[in-house]
Amino acid sequence: MQRTRAELEAMSHDDLVHRVLELQDLLREGLGVRRTLHAVLNALLAAKETEVGRFADADEATLDLEEQELKRAWAAARHAVSNPLGAAKARQEA
């Protein structure tokens, strides 16, 4: 739950410490989920290496609509594995 600066300043020291510890737990869980998703995505890309490579090298103009969508999806997956923060930022900007 987000709190305003005034609300945080009004909290007792013990309440602030408790809140910080809760946030640390949330962050730890989130990082664990991110690591797991990263591993799964890496395994998927490795298993589909031939297909991923074929679409990466293909000229989009020669592909039908479904293949163009696959090309974009595999490119997004590669981006997410190679640069998770950049991929998240790109999705937010889109």
Residue 66 has pLDDT above 70, yes or no: yes
Q: What is the mean pLDDT of residues 20-36?
A: 95
- Residue 54 predicted with pLDDT over 70: yes
3-state secondary structure of 31: helix
The mean pLDDT of 15-20, rounded to a whole number, is: 94
Q: Would you state the pLDDT for residue 69?
A: 95
Helical H runs in 2-93?
A: 5-10, 13-47, 49-57, 65-82, 84-93
Decide if pLDDT at 1 tops 70.
Answer: no
Record the tokens describing residue 61, joined without a space.
């103009």
State residue 83's pLDDT score: 86
What tokens were used for 11? 């909290």
Evaluate if pTM is beyond 0.75: no
